[in-house]
Amino acid sequence: MSRVKRLRFTRLPEAGVIDESRQPVFRVLDGRPELLPPHLPPAEALMVAVHRGYCPSGGYSVRVQEVLDKHDVVEVRVLLRDPDPQEFVTTVVTEPKDVIVLDKRQLQKRGKRLFRFVDQNGRELSRQETVLD
């Protein structure tokens, strides 16, 4: 019988970038990239990015709330927010996103995995199959 395991993650700040080796980097100190989280070996880091797409104004957001390992499926639960019609927002196209880093050693299994992205109401937003070594 498989169990559901809540996975811990680190949120990359807005300033986070990806270096030439495709690893998440928080900042560069004295010419050296600093990985997030600090004690996570790069080979065990799994970056998960959630994008909302283009939105017509400010006030829209997406944020990872929880990541659950359900043995065959990794479920990423996100909170979507739309501005209230009466809310004053910037009138510029925005592209909300949230990026987290997981430690692959937390996973119940490796290999072929399905990542399922759902909103706060349980509605499926997307599916992505990947192979984790």
pLDDT tens readout for residues 112-124: 999 999 999 999 9
pLDDT of amino acid 35: 55
The domain segmentation of the chain, as residue ranges, is 5-132
Is 39 a residue whose pLDDT tops 90?
A: no
Q: 3-state class of 104 per DSSP?
A: helix
Find out whether 90 and 58 touch, Cβ atoms under 8 Å. Answer: yes
Task: Show the beta-strand stretches assigned E in 1-133.
Answer: 5-6, 9-11, 17-18, 24-25, 27-29, 32-34, 45-51, 61-69, 73-81, 97-103, 111-118, 124-132
What is the distance between the alpha carbons of residues 108 and 74, in angstroms, rounded to a whole number? 10
pLDDT of amino acid 104: 93
pLDDT of amino acid 47: 86
